[in-house]
Chains A and B, each alone.
Chain A
Amino acid sequence: MSKNKDQNSEKFDRDSRDLTNFQTDVLQKYLTGKADAELPADAHSARSLLPPGTARGRSFASIASEFPAYDAQKCVACMECVVVCPDAAIHARVTPQAEMDQALSKVTDPAVRDFAQSRFSKTVKFWNTYEKQGKTPGQFSLWIDPDKCKGCGECVQVCGDHAALSMKLKSDEEMALTTKAVEFSHQHLPGTAEQYVNPRLLTDMFLQDEKWVYRGGAGSCMGCGEITSLKLAIGATTAKYGDNLAIVAATGCNSVFSSTYPYNIFNVPWTNSLFENAAPTGLGVRMRLNQQGKNDTKVWILGGDGAMADIGLQAVSRALATGEDINILVMDTQSYSNTGGQASTSTFTGQSAKMSAHGKASLGKTERRKELGVIAMMHPDVFVAQVSPAYPNHFLRTVLDALEYPGPSLIVAYSPCMPEHGIADDAGAERAKAAVISRAFPLYVHDPRKGNTIKERLDLRGNPSIGEEWHKDPKTGEVFDFVWFARKEGRFAQHFKGGKVSESLLKSQEDRQKNWNLIRELAGLK
């Protein structure tokens, strides 16, 4: 190579890494829709470089006609809406009265001040209980960002009978006020003090939104369960350890919605390699961090069931066998969601998937579902768990335990996928709960620190009626079996033709029953 070429290549390297003017030179053109017309092919894109957090300026305000209206007086501060919002559009704060008054006094526009004030309330949780315990009570407030909200309505769904949230048609006037109120919360309202973050009720860690590294702007579908799982795992990590983490994403929905040029949803180091390569790449990142003496830096390796249970299974197995301190999150959608919903080995028996639809000519997927968690558990000294975003306290506690475990961990998170499961945009949490109740996806935690036998290490807490094959409604006696679960999802619709349940679906139910019994047997409960 000539000296001249060397110098050119060095200059190119230097220029393409110079992201100082990315905001003005690149991002603004995309945000205003002028990139195609005005930008030359740029070097950042060619080098796959993205500055951190560029998705924060992205707006989804124009994609939905409805927006959640909030009635603070009905709110109980349960934090469910904050936790499940796939777009991190909702944040909440708890503020002592004096600090709230002081913050509001800084707002000059009376309309904005009144609107902002209406977001506060004295809840039993943060007012009455704190008063009763002789501590300084706090006003709870909730803020929803019109630029981040995609209008899925899942917050309204989880709010349920509390009815503090409801979907309303947007008006320009109200959206302008809402935007200004959100700005007020960021500019003037102090962050939630430690005293209001109950260490036992882990969902409350989301009260400190300044610790979030994902703040919306992802290109995920409305209501996406994958990004909800991702948000919970990364949110727990940064709440406990700050932003001292590195993320390696397997190719799939998560890599696409996190890093569609020029939008990067993270402000921590993030990389993506080949579909099957996330685990070894993460392992390499771990080794390099250790070489640099950064043993405290947490490493998350993210992927779907296709990347982790199918195409990258060998690579995952190899990484787990090293005993290195890595954490793998499998966002299990039971299909190859990103490429249009082909069947994976995690797909349920009978589930209609691309190229394996259930019908007269072909029964579709007749194999039993492969259980990645059970396979991972049989590796020596690996922390393994199944979690569901509908059980956030269990989910967050499991993530913290996995991070604390000084070896490899693999967490399989049930992740509803609206288009591939055939469910409504607001149904994620409800379906993720039904999956657990019906034994479609039991919760468990296998912690090698708990003992020498599998039954000592395996904890099934969180599942209802652990002693029974199926959970029943205590009042009506209705059986919540797998058929009950499948009835509400489009991916199983073919099994209910003519008012009958198909043989294939009953086989699928048998598979789920066998899996539940296997897990109970391993836990010493059968």
Chain B
Amino acid sequence: MALKITDDCTSCGACEPECPNSAITAGDDKYVINAAACTECQGKHASPQCQAVCPVDAPVKA
């Protein structure tokens, strides 16, 4: 159970502080989600917070 960030990512950085699990970090050409830490926000939020804030719909189901 995890999300991943597609190549649509423009590295705006909006998602990073939204993640309740600190699972998102800046990668070389896009932001990346640490699958081991991602819980898709279950138990914490109604929907994944990175998806909610991403302006280019980059976070998707892995």
- A is bound by B: yes
Q: Of A161, A162, A461, which is within 8 A of B18 by CB?
A: A461
In Å, the complex CA distance between A125 and B58 comes to 10
Interface centre among A200, A204, A391 (most CB of B within 10 A): A200
Q: How far is the CA of A312 from the CA of B52 in the complex (A)?
A: 40
For A139-170 the 0/1 string (1 means CB < 8 A from B) is 00000000000000000000001100000000
Q: Which positions 77-128 of chain A face chain B at CB distance < 8 Å?
A: 77-80, 123-125, 128
Q: Does B35 contact A (CB under 8 A)?
A: no
In the assembled complex, which residues on chain B have CB atoms less than 8 Å from the CB atom of A76? Answer: 10-12
- Most A CB contacts (10 A, CB to CB) among B14, B54, B56 go to B14
Inter-chain CA distance A462–B11, complex, in Å, is 17
Asked if A162 and B11 sit within 8 Å, CB to CB, the answer is yes
Q: Contact: A201 with B25, CB < 8 Å?
A: no
Q: Per-residue CB proximity of B35-62 to A under 8 Å, as 1/0?
A: 0000000000000000011111100000
Check if B17 sits within 8 Å of A474, measured CB to CB.
no
Q: Is the CB of B56 within 8 A of A124?
A: yes
Mask of B1-31 contacts with A, CB within 8 angstroms, 1/0:
0000000101111100110101001000000
Residues of chain A with a CB closer than 8 A to B34's CB: 474
Which chain A residue lies CB-closest to B19? A461
Task: Flag if B55 contacts A462 (CB, 8 Å).
Answer: no
In the bound complex, residues from chain A placing their C-beta under 8 Å from that of B53 are 200-201, 393
Assembled-state Cα–Cα distance A462/B15 (Å):
10
Known: A76-B10, A161-B11, A466-B22. A125 touches B17 (CB 8 A): no
Contact A125 B11 (CB under 8 A): no
Once the chains bind, are B22 and A393 in contact (CB under 8 Å)? no
A128 to B13, CA, bound (A): 18
Known contacts A124-B56, A125-B56, A129-B56: A203-B17 contact under CB 8 Å:
no
Does the CB pair B14–A124 fall under 8 Å? no
Contact A394 B17 (CB under 8 A): yes
* CB-based nearest B residue for A471: B22
Complex CA–CA separation, A393 to B55 (angstroms): 13
Most A Cβ at <10 Å: residue of B17, B22, B34, B53: B17
B55 touches A125 (CB 8 A): yes
Q: Quick check: B17 and A391 within 8 Å, CB to CB?
A: yes
Measured CA separation A125–B8 after assembly (Å): 9
Residue A125 contacts which of B10, B13, B18, B52 (CB distance < 8 angstroms)? B10
Do residues A461 and B11 form an inter-chain contact, with CB atoms below 8 A?
no
Please name all residues of chain A whose beta carbon is closer than 8 Å to the beta carbon of B17 when the two chains form the complex. Answer: 391, 393-394, 443, 461-462, 464
Closest to B32 in A: A474
How many residues on B have C-beta within 8 angstroms of the other chain's C-beta atoms?
A: 18
A23 within 8 A of B: no
Q: How many residues of A contact B (CB 8 A)?
A: 30
A133 to B54, alpha carbons, bound, how many Å?
A: 14
| In the complex, A198 has a CB within 8 A of chain B | yes
What's the nearest-Cβ distance from chain A to residue B9, in Å?
9
Q: Out of B8, B13, B18, name the residue touching A78 (CB < 8 Å).
A: B13
Q: How far is the CB of B36 from chain A (nearest CB, A)?
A: 11
Determine whether the beta carbon of B56 is less than 8 Å from that of A128: yes
- With the chains together, A78 CA to B14 CA distance in Å? 8
Inter-chain contacts of B20 with A (CB < 8 A)? 461, 466
> What is the bound-complex CA distance between A124 and B52, given in angstroms?
17
A76 and B29 CA atoms in complex are apart in Å by 13
* Nearest CB in chain B to that of A78: its residue: B12
Q: Of all chain B residues, which has the CB nearest A473?
A: B25
A260 at the interface (CB under 8 A from B): no
> Bound state CA distance, A465 and B24, in angstroms?
11
A198-B55, A200-B53, A204-B55 known; A124 vs B10 contact (CB < 8 Å): yes
Instruction: Name the CB-closest residue of A to B34.
Output: A474
Interface centre among B13, B20, B57 (most CB of A within 10 A): B13
A residues 411-466 touching B (CB-CB < 8 Å) = 443, 461-462, 464-466
Residues of B within 8 A of A133 (CB): 57
Cross-chain contact B22 with A465 (CB below 8 angstroms): yes
On chain A, the residues within 8 Å of B57 by CB distance are 129, 132-133
Cα separation A123 to B55 with both chains bound (whole Å): 11
Please list the residues of chain B having a beta carbon within 8 angstroms of any beta carbon in chain A.
8, 10-14, 17-18, 20, 22, 25, 34, 52-57
- Taking A77-B55, A125-B56, A201-B53 as given, write out 17 further A-B residue pairs in contact, using a Cβ cutoff of 8 Å, ordered by the A residue number: A76-B10, A78-B10, A78-B13, A79-B12, A80-B13, A124-B56, A125-B12, A129-B56, A133-B57, A198-B55, A200-B53, A201-B54, A393-B18, A462-B18, A466-B20, A466-B22, A471-B22
- Chosen A-B contacts, 30 in total, with CB atoms closer than 8 Å, are A76-B11, A77-B10, A78-B10, A78-B14, A80-B12, A80-B13, A124-B8, A124-B10, A124-B56, A125-B55, A128-B8, A128-B56, A129-B8, A129-B55, A132-B57, A133-B57, A161-B11, A200-B52, A201-B14, A204-B55, A391-B17, A393-B17, A461-B17, A461-B18, A461-B20, A462-B17, A464-B17, A465-B22, A471-B22, A474-B25
**Residues of A at under 8 Å CB distance from B?**
76-80, 123-125, 128-129, 132-133, 161-162, 198, 200-201, 203-204, 391, 393-394, 443, 461-462, 464-466, 471, 474
**When A and B form their complex, which 4 residue pairs have the shortest distance between CB atoms, in order from nearest?**
A78-B12, A76-B10, A462-B17, A125-B55
